[in-house]
Structure 1
Amino acid sequence: MRLNILALFAGLSLLACSNKKESGKSLEIQGTWQLLSATTIEKGTSQTTDYSGKLKMIKMFNNTHFAFLKHSLNAKDTSSFDAGGGTFVLNGDDYTEHLEYYKDKNWEDKHFNFKLSIHNDTLIQKGVEKVEKAGVDRVIIEKYIKVK
Protein backbone atom coordinates (compact mmCIF):
# COMPACT_ATOMS: atom_id res chain seq x y z
CA MET A 1 0.00 0.00 0.00
CA ARG A 2 2.76 2.41 0.98
CA LEU A 3 4.64 1.59 -2.25
CA ASN A 4 1.49 2.35 -4.32
CA ILE A 5 1.10 5.74 -2.64
CA LEU A 6 4.76 6.57 -3.28
CA ALA A 7 4.45 5.49 -6.92
CA LEU A 8 1.29 7.59 -7.32
CA PHE A 9 2.98 10.61 -5.72
CA ALA A 10 6.06 10.21 -7.97
CA GLY A 11 3.86 9.94 -11.06
CA LEU A 12 1.85 13.02 -10.14
CA SER A 13 5.08 14.95 -9.43
CA LEU A 14 6.45 14.08 -12.87
CA LEU A 15 3.16 15.06 -14.50
CA ALA A 16 3.13 18.38 -12.64
CA CYS A 17 6.69 19.10 -13.74
CA SER A 18 5.97 18.26 -17.37
CA ASN A 19 2.88 20.51 -17.38
CA LYS A 20 4.88 23.34 -15.88
CA LYS A 21 7.55 22.91 -18.56
CA GLU A 22 4.94 22.91 -21.33
CA SER A 23 3.23 26.06 -20.05
CA GLY A 24 6.57 27.94 -20.14
CA LYS A 25 7.34 26.74 -23.65
CA SER A 26 7.67 29.46 -26.29
CA LEU A 27 5.39 29.54 -29.30
CA GLU A 28 6.65 28.17 -32.61
CA ILE A 29 6.85 31.26 -34.85
CA GLN A 30 9.72 30.40 -37.20
CA GLY A 31 8.91 30.85 -40.86
CA THR A 32 7.02 33.36 -42.97
CA TRP A 33 3.69 34.93 -42.00
CA GLN A 34 1.44 37.09 -44.21
CA LEU A 35 -0.41 39.99 -42.59
CA LEU A 36 -4.19 39.75 -42.95
CA SER A 37 -5.24 42.81 -40.95
CA ALA A 38 -3.78 45.44 -38.67
CA THR A 39 -5.73 47.44 -36.12
CA THR A 40 -4.32 50.54 -34.46
CA ILE A 41 -5.92 52.17 -31.44
CA GLU A 42 -4.71 55.70 -30.82
CA LYS A 43 -6.30 58.29 -28.54
CA GLY A 44 -9.46 56.18 -28.29
CA THR A 45 -9.87 55.85 -32.06
CA SER A 46 -9.58 52.47 -33.74
CA GLN A 47 -8.61 51.96 -37.37
CA THR A 48 -8.30 48.61 -39.16
CA THR A 49 -6.39 48.06 -42.40
CA ASP A 50 -7.31 45.04 -44.51
CA TYR A 51 -4.24 43.49 -46.17
CA SER A 52 -6.15 41.16 -48.47
CA GLY A 53 -6.59 43.71 -51.24
CA LYS A 54 -4.27 46.55 -52.22
CA LEU A 55 -1.44 45.94 -49.74
CA LYS A 56 0.71 42.92 -48.96
CA MET A 57 3.03 42.45 -45.99
CA ILE A 58 5.02 39.48 -44.78
CA LYS A 59 6.97 38.97 -41.56
CA MET A 60 9.72 36.38 -41.32
CA PHE A 61 11.27 34.83 -38.22
CA ASN A 62 14.30 32.63 -37.66
CA ASN A 63 15.78 31.68 -34.27
CA THR A 64 16.95 35.19 -33.36
CA HIS A 65 15.87 37.71 -36.01
CA PHE A 66 12.74 39.05 -37.67
CA ALA A 67 12.18 41.06 -40.83
CA PHE A 68 9.10 42.56 -42.45
CA LEU A 69 8.37 43.75 -45.97
CA LYS A 70 5.31 45.68 -47.11
CA HIS A 71 4.29 47.05 -50.48
CA SER A 72 1.34 48.03 -52.58
CA LEU A 73 0.02 45.52 -55.11
CA ASN A 74 -0.61 48.46 -57.47
CA ALA A 75 2.34 48.36 -59.90
CA LYS A 76 2.29 52.16 -60.26
CA ASP A 77 2.49 52.84 -56.50
CA THR A 78 6.15 52.77 -55.50
CA SER A 79 5.77 55.05 -52.48
CA SER A 80 4.23 52.55 -50.07
CA PHE A 81 7.21 50.21 -49.71
CA ASP A 82 8.22 49.61 -46.11
CA ALA A 83 10.73 47.26 -44.49
CA GLY A 84 12.53 46.71 -41.25
CA GLY A 85 14.02 44.12 -39.00
CA GLY A 86 16.15 43.27 -36.04
CA THR A 87 16.43 40.81 -33.20
CA PHE A 88 13.76 39.41 -30.91
CA VAL A 89 13.32 37.49 -27.69
CA LEU A 90 10.38 35.14 -27.22
CA ASN A 91 9.59 33.80 -23.77
CA GLY A 92 6.32 31.88 -23.73
CA ASP A 93 3.88 34.34 -25.31
CA ASP A 94 5.96 37.42 -24.37
CA TYR A 95 7.62 38.74 -27.52
CA THR A 96 10.07 41.67 -27.55
CA GLU A 97 11.38 43.15 -30.79
CA HIS A 98 14.53 45.22 -31.00
CA LEU A 99 14.12 47.18 -34.22
CA GLU A 100 17.61 47.64 -35.66
CA TYR A 101 16.80 48.58 -39.26
CA TYR A 102 14.05 50.89 -40.48
CA LYS A 103 13.64 53.72 -42.98
CA ASP A 104 12.64 56.17 -40.24
CA LYS A 105 15.69 56.44 -37.96
CA ASN A 106 13.47 57.60 -35.07
CA TRP A 107 12.23 53.99 -34.79
CA GLU A 108 15.65 52.35 -34.81
CA ASP A 109 17.18 50.93 -31.64
CA LYS A 110 13.77 50.76 -29.95
CA HIS A 111 12.28 47.80 -28.06
CA PHE A 112 8.62 46.88 -28.48
CA ASN A 113 6.81 44.44 -26.18
CA PHE A 114 3.98 42.31 -27.46
CA LYS A 115 1.86 39.30 -26.55
CA LEU A 116 1.62 36.59 -29.19
CA SER A 117 -0.95 33.88 -29.62
CA ILE A 118 -1.29 31.20 -32.26
CA HIS A 119 -4.60 29.59 -33.19
CA ASN A 120 -4.15 26.90 -35.86
CA ASP A 121 -2.33 28.76 -38.69
CA THR A 122 -3.08 32.28 -37.39
CA LEU A 123 -0.64 34.41 -35.38
CA ILE A 124 -1.97 37.38 -33.42
CA GLN A 125 0.42 40.06 -32.16
CA LYS A 126 -0.82 42.67 -29.64
CA GLY A 127 1.09 45.43 -27.95
CA VAL A 128 2.11 49.05 -27.75
CA GLU A 129 4.19 50.99 -30.24
CA LYS A 130 5.61 54.07 -28.58
CA VAL A 131 8.18 56.24 -30.31
CA GLU A 132 8.30 59.70 -28.76
CA LYS A 133 10.47 61.27 -31.49
CA ALA A 134 7.97 60.13 -34.14
CA GLY A 135 4.91 61.17 -32.09
CA VAL A 136 3.64 57.58 -31.98
CA ASP A 137 1.85 56.06 -28.98
CA ARG A 138 -0.66 53.42 -29.99
CA VAL A 139 -1.86 49.89 -29.45
CA ILE A 140 -1.53 47.56 -32.41
CA ILE A 141 -3.22 44.25 -33.10
CA GLU A 142 -1.90 42.38 -36.11
CA LYS A 143 -3.30 39.14 -37.50
CA TYR A 144 -1.07 36.95 -39.68
CA ILE A 145 -1.54 33.64 -41.48
CA LYS A 146 1.29 31.13 -41.87
CA VAL A 147 2.68 30.97 -45.41
CA LYS A 148 3.03 27.35 -46.48
Structure 2
Amino acid sequence: MKYLPFIAIAMSLLSCSQQQEASSAATSTSPLTGTWKLLSAKSIQGKDTTITAPVAGQETIKIFNDSYFAFFTHDLNHGADSTATYGSGSGTYTLVKDVYSEHLEYCSYRGWENKDFSFVMQVSKDTITQSGIEKIDSLNINHEIVETYVRIR
Protein backbone atom coordinates (compact mmCIF):
# COMPACT_ATOMS: atom_id res chain seq x y z
CA MET A 1 0.00 0.00 0.00
CA LYS A 2 2.81 2.41 0.75
CA TYR A 3 3.96 2.12 -2.88
CA LEU A 4 0.57 3.01 -4.33
CA PRO A 5 1.22 6.82 -4.55
CA PHE A 6 4.54 6.21 -6.33
CA ILE A 7 2.91 3.86 -8.83
CA ALA A 8 0.16 6.44 -9.53
CA ILE A 9 2.76 9.18 -10.11
CA ALA A 10 4.82 6.94 -12.40
CA MET A 11 1.76 5.97 -14.44
CA SER A 12 0.74 9.64 -14.70
CA LEU A 13 4.20 10.65 -15.95
CA LEU A 14 4.27 7.77 -18.42
CA SER A 15 0.84 8.80 -19.74
CA CYS A 16 2.00 12.41 -20.28
CA SER A 17 5.10 11.22 -22.11
CA GLN A 18 3.06 9.01 -24.44
CA GLN A 19 0.60 11.86 -25.17
CA GLN A 20 3.47 14.20 -26.03
CA GLU A 21 5.00 11.63 -28.40
CA ALA A 22 1.65 11.11 -30.13
CA SER A 23 1.21 14.87 -30.46
CA SER A 24 4.70 15.24 -31.97
CA ALA A 25 4.07 12.41 -34.41
CA ALA A 26 0.84 14.04 -35.59
CA THR A 27 2.63 17.34 -36.36
CA SER A 28 4.79 17.33 -39.48
CA THR A 29 6.88 20.19 -40.75
CA SER A 30 6.23 21.35 -44.29
CA PRO A 31 9.26 21.36 -46.61
CA LEU A 32 8.19 24.93 -47.45
CA THR A 33 8.60 26.25 -43.89
CA GLY A 34 10.89 29.26 -43.98
CA THR A 35 11.47 32.46 -45.92
CA TRP A 36 11.94 32.47 -49.69
CA LYS A 37 13.02 35.24 -52.07
CA LEU A 38 11.45 35.51 -55.52
CA LEU A 39 14.14 35.05 -58.18
CA SER A 40 12.00 35.03 -61.31
CA ALA A 41 8.38 35.06 -62.40
CA LYS A 42 6.49 35.02 -65.65
CA SER A 43 2.89 35.23 -66.73
CA ILE A 44 1.71 33.25 -69.74
CA GLN A 45 -1.54 34.19 -71.45
CA GLY A 46 -2.22 32.38 -74.68
CA LYS A 47 0.93 32.72 -76.78
CA ASP A 48 2.18 35.78 -74.87
CA THR A 49 4.75 35.44 -72.09
CA THR A 50 5.52 38.40 -69.86
CA ILE A 51 8.47 38.43 -67.45
CA THR A 52 7.06 39.86 -64.21
CA ALA A 53 10.14 39.43 -61.99
CA PRO A 54 12.78 40.39 -61.30
CA VAL A 55 11.83 44.06 -61.39
CA ALA A 56 14.69 46.52 -60.93
CA GLY A 57 14.46 48.19 -57.54
CA GLN A 58 11.93 45.71 -56.09
CA GLU A 59 12.06 42.63 -53.91
CA THR A 60 9.50 39.94 -53.06
CA ILE A 61 9.62 37.37 -50.29
CA LYS A 62 7.22 34.56 -49.41
CA ILE A 63 7.08 33.14 -45.90
CA PHE A 64 5.61 29.75 -44.96
CA ASN A 65 4.87 28.02 -41.69
CA ASP A 66 3.12 24.63 -41.53
CA SER A 67 -0.24 25.95 -42.73
CA TYR A 68 -0.02 29.68 -43.53
CA PHE A 69 1.83 31.71 -46.14
CA ALA A 70 2.45 35.41 -46.59
CA PHE A 71 4.10 37.38 -49.37
CA PHE A 72 5.46 40.90 -49.48
CA THR A 73 6.68 43.01 -52.39
CA HIS A 74 8.23 46.41 -51.90
CA ASP A 75 10.50 48.87 -53.59
CA LEU A 76 14.08 49.11 -52.36
CA ASN A 77 14.01 52.93 -52.21
CA HIS A 78 11.68 52.88 -49.18
CA GLY A 79 8.88 54.66 -51.06
CA ALA A 80 11.05 57.72 -51.58
CA ASP A 81 10.47 58.19 -55.32
CA SER A 82 8.20 57.34 -58.26
CA THR A 83 9.13 53.64 -58.03
CA ALA A 84 7.28 53.34 -54.70
CA THR A 85 5.35 50.09 -54.51
CA TYR A 86 4.03 47.76 -51.86
CA GLY A 87 1.91 44.65 -52.12
CA SER A 88 1.17 41.84 -49.69
CA GLY A 89 -1.13 38.96 -49.02
CA SER A 90 -1.54 35.90 -46.84
CA GLY A 91 -3.72 32.94 -46.23
CA THR A 92 -3.74 29.20 -45.71
CA TYR A 93 -2.18 26.52 -47.85
CA THR A 94 -1.86 22.78 -48.21
CA LEU A 95 0.87 20.81 -49.93
CA VAL A 96 0.05 17.22 -50.89
CA LYS A 97 2.90 15.69 -52.85
CA ASP A 98 3.45 18.37 -55.52
CA VAL A 99 -0.06 19.90 -55.41
CA TYR A 100 0.11 23.24 -53.64
CA SER A 101 -3.27 24.87 -52.92
CA GLU A 102 -3.67 28.26 -51.35
CA HIS A 103 -6.60 30.25 -50.06
CA LEU A 104 -5.73 33.94 -50.24
CA GLU A 105 -7.49 35.47 -47.23
CA TYR A 106 -5.87 38.90 -47.17
CA CYS A 107 -4.43 40.90 -50.05
CA SER A 108 -3.52 44.50 -50.71
CA TYR A 109 -5.19 43.96 -54.11
CA ARG A 110 -8.61 43.49 -52.53
CA GLY A 111 -10.25 41.80 -55.54
CA TRP A 112 -7.93 38.82 -54.96
CA GLU A 113 -9.16 38.19 -51.40
CA ASN A 114 -10.97 34.95 -50.54
CA LYS A 115 -9.84 33.24 -53.74
CA ASP A 116 -8.49 29.70 -54.08
CA PHE A 117 -5.63 28.73 -56.35
CA SER A 118 -4.00 25.40 -57.12
CA PHE A 119 -0.45 25.06 -58.38
CA VAL A 120 2.25 22.48 -58.94
CA MET A 121 5.05 23.05 -56.43
CA GLN A 122 8.46 21.55 -57.10
CA VAL A 123 10.78 21.59 -54.07
CA SER A 124 14.45 20.95 -54.80
CA LYS A 125 16.89 21.64 -51.95
CA ASP A 126 16.88 25.44 -51.53
CA THR A 127 14.69 26.22 -54.57
CA ILE A 128 10.96 26.02 -55.16
CA THR A 129 9.12 26.46 -58.43
CA GLN A 130 5.41 27.23 -58.31
CA SER A 131 3.38 27.02 -61.52
CA GLY A 132 -0.28 26.97 -62.39
CA ILE A 133 -3.33 28.97 -63.38
CA GLU A 134 -4.54 32.14 -61.70
CA LYS A 135 -8.14 32.75 -62.73
CA ILE A 136 -10.45 35.41 -61.32
CA ASP A 137 -13.44 36.01 -63.57
CA SER A 138 -14.52 39.22 -61.80
CA LEU A 139 -11.12 40.80 -62.56
CA ASN A 140 -10.79 39.30 -66.06
CA ILE A 141 -7.64 37.45 -64.96
CA ASN A 142 -6.81 34.12 -66.55
CA HIS A 143 -3.15 33.32 -66.97
CA GLU A 144 -0.51 30.76 -66.08
CA ILE A 145 2.26 31.78 -63.71
CA VAL A 146 5.69 30.30 -63.13
CA GLU A 147 7.58 31.58 -60.08
CA THR A 148 10.98 30.50 -58.78
CA TYR A 149 12.08 31.18 -55.21
CA VAL A 150 15.29 30.52 -53.30
CA ARG A 151 15.37 29.87 -49.55
CA ILE A 152 16.90 32.71 -47.54
CA ARG A 153 15.99 31.40 -44.03
Distance 2:92 2:38 in 1: 19
Q: Following superposition of structure 1 onto structure 2, how do residues 106-117 of structure 1 map, counting pairs within 5 Å?
A: 106-117=111-122
Match of 2:105 among 95, 100, 107: 100
Q: Which residue of 2 aligns with 1:85?
A: 90
Distance 1:91 1:144 in 2: 19
Cα pair distance change 1:44/1:92, threshold 3 Å: same
Amino acid at match of 2:47: G
Stretches (4+) displaced over 6 A: none
In the TM superposition, what is the alpha-carbon distance from 1:50 to its structure 2 partner? 3.4
Q: Which residue of 2 aligns with 1:145?
A: 150
Distance 1:27 1:126 in 2: 18
- Identity over aligned residues, as a percent? 36
Question: Conserved in 1, the CA contact under 8 Å of 2:29 and 2:66?
Answer: no
Aligned length: 124
In the TM superposition, what is the alpha-carbon distance from 1:27 to its structure 2 partner? 6.2
Task: For residue 41 of structure 2, give the secondary structure of its aligned residue in structure 1.
Answer: strand
Please provide the CA RMSD for this pair.
Answer: 2.0
Amino acid at match of 2:75: S
Task: For residue 138 of structure 2, give the secondary structure of its aligned residue in structure 1.
Answer: helix
The structure with the larger Rg is: 2
Match of 2:127 among 109, 122, 139: 122
Query: Normalization by structure 1: what TM-score?
Result: 0.77
Q: Which residue of 1 aligns with 2:66?
A: 63
Cα pair distance change 1:98/1:44, threshold 3 Å: same
Distance 1:63 1:46 in 2: 32
- Unaligned ranges ≥5, structure 2: 1-27
Q: Which residue of 2 aligns with 1:131?
A: 136
Question: Conserved in 1, the CA contact under 8 Å of 2:59 and 2:75?
Answer: yes
In the TM superposition, what is the alpha-carbon distance from 1:77 to its structure 2 partner? 4.2
Cα pair distance change 1:82/1:28, threshold 3 Å: same
Q: Which residue of 2 aligns with 1:15?
A: none
Task: For residue 111 of structure 2, give the secondary structure of its aligned residue in structure 1.
Answer: helix
Distance 2:110 2:142 in 1: 17
- Unaligned ranges ≥5, structure 1: 1-24
Distance 1:60 1:66 in 2: 5
Query: Normalization by structure 2: what TM-score?
Result: 0.74
